[in-house]
Amino acid sequence: MADSFEPVLLRNVGVENSTALKVYESRGGYRAVRQALKQTPGEITEEVKKANLRGRGGAGFPAGVKWGFLPPNRTVTLLCVNGDESEPPTFSNRVLMEKDPHQLIEGVIIAAYATQARIAYIYLRGEFHEQFHILQKAIDEAYVAGYLGKRVFGGDYSLECYIHRGAGAYVCGEETGLIESIEGKRGCPRIKPPFPAVEGVFHRPTVVNNVETISCIPHIIERGAEWFAGVGPQHSTGPKLFCISGPVNKPGCYEAAMDITVRELIEREDMGGGMQPARKVKAVFPGGVSMGVLTADELDMKMDFDDPQHYGLLGLGTAAAVVIDQDTDIRIVLRNVARFFGTESCGQCTQCREGTAWMYKIASRIADGAGRIEDLDILLDTARNMGMMPGLSICGLPDGATYPIETIVKKFRSELEDAIRAQPDGRVESAMSAVN
């Protein structure tokens, strides 16, 4: 696979002045959109369905199927591109926007035309300051060239494209939280139904796809659905971006088919390049923190949409692998994960607001050397009583908060218990009295 895979989404990364319109066009850019505008919107949607393009933002829902949920008698349609990318430590969307923004813009035009949207919002993570200026410059170039605005490419179709900058809230990565933020409100997810396809931004039918998903669309149109469906496993088709960080020799963003394993992502010379000297793998979060953790014995998991569930994970997520080495105290990992989700809960749902706070307090106590064996069972019990999947919350944030906690406790329980038993005498009692 290493010798045969041709980079597609990252093909322009490393090219001099790759963010410029003239460079993008010199490398074949905007050919796909010209081709798409000669087709009907329905034909484009069917092509995306045949390609089985599944959302790259975490859930993996088929993009063409999502477009098909739009009401047939609608008069106004909006497109929202999710560039919030707040899942730690995910940066594939950032790479696409800062290195090849016109690829995203071309995908936006095709997706908007296919769904008959006349307005597109690119929702950008609040911390993406440099990326905002790069993307805005590219949008301005597209307007000047006649690729955006009135009569796109001289035809009858018109599209306005705006960047909306968020305020750095993780929960705005959830599509209805994103929609609330675009409307100028606090970014709290909405109760569903109604779903965004029926009632989204400003109560209008809305499509929400993430940056990488939209960036795949020009290649589907230009190369065909059969090409896209032929890359990777049957139910996880197309090129995919993978991030890797931690004590590896070459942390970064790489592209491959989704039959790659976590071990390959770490060890291949054209990817992670192996562990740094004297470092060994203890654990890996393969899909961003929220999907859960793997042990060093589980590295043969395929980075597709199906295999992670066989390892007790929530899913593939953002395909951002975080490598933990053997010298890292798993108690510190537990506390850091719990702290993040405790901070990022929007607070609407009681079990999420209180549950994430409880888990952080318990994890902190364990990390501070004042834990109790029963704390591990309390963490698991709290995790089982949170989440959208058991029908106890509005959005999926508590599911993402509990899977890393649950998998850490289950897969590293012996290490946690040994650390608790090794605590100095009297530490638990003094810490508990201080808390109370």
Cα radius of gyration (the chain): 22
pLDDT band at 377 (very low <50, low <70, confident <90, very high): very high
Alpha carbons 399 and 390: distance in angstroms, whole number = 9
User: What integer is the mean pLDDT of 407-425?
Assistant: 95
Which pLDDT tens digit goes with each residue over 207-236?
Answer: 999 999 999 999 999 999 999 999 999 999
Domain boundaries, the chain: 21-229, 240-282+295-320, 330-435
Sequence-ordered list of residues with C-beta below 8 angstroms from that of 183, at least 6 positions apart, any chain: 201, 202
Task: Please check whether residue 268 is in contact with residue 236, taking contact to mean a CB–CB distance below 8 angstroms.
Answer: no
CB-facing half-sphere around the CA of 152: CA atoms within 13 A: 27
Tell me whether domains 21-229 and 330-435 share a fold.
Answer: no
The angle formed by the CA atoms of residues 193, 315 and 83, to the nearest 5 degrees, is 65
- What pLDDT score was predicted for residue 2? 45
State the virtual CA torsion across 95, 100, 101, 102 in degrees, nearest 10: -160
Which pLDDT tens digit goes with each residue over 74-108?
Answer: 999 999 999 999 999 899 999 999 999 999 999 99
Alpha carbons 130 and 117: distance in angstroms, whole number = 28
330-435 under CATH 1.20.1440.230, yes or no: yes
pLDDT band at 435 (very low <50, low <70, confident <90, very high): very low
Specify the range with the lowest mean pLDDT, choosing from 118-122, 176-180, 384-388. 384-388
Q: Which fold has domain 21-229?
A: Rossmann fold (3.40.50)
Task: Please check whether residue 53 is in contact with residue 238, taking contact to mean a CB–CB distance below 8 angstroms.
Answer: yes
Q: Alpha helices, DSSP H only, in 279-423?
A: 330-344, 350-367, 373-384, 397-411, 413-421
- Position 309 pLDDT exceeds 60: yes
Q: Identify the sign of the CA torsion 23, 26, 28, 32.
A: positive
**Structure tokens of 139?**
């949008």
209: nearest Cα among 61, 399, 45, 36: 61
Which residue in the block uniquely carries the two structure tokens 């179709």?
Answer: 157
Percent of the chain at pLDDT > 70 equals: 96
- What pLDDT score was predicted for residue 3? 52
- What pLDDT score was predicted for residue 110? 98
**Structure tokens of 186?**
């606090």
Among 118-122, 125-129, 382-386, 426-430, the range of highest mean pLDDT: 118-122
- What pLDDT score was predicted for residue 1? 44
Strand partners, 278: none
pTM here is 0.93
User: What integer is the mean pLDDT of 351-374?
Assistant: 96
pLDDT band at 246 (very low <50, low <70, confident <90, very high): very high
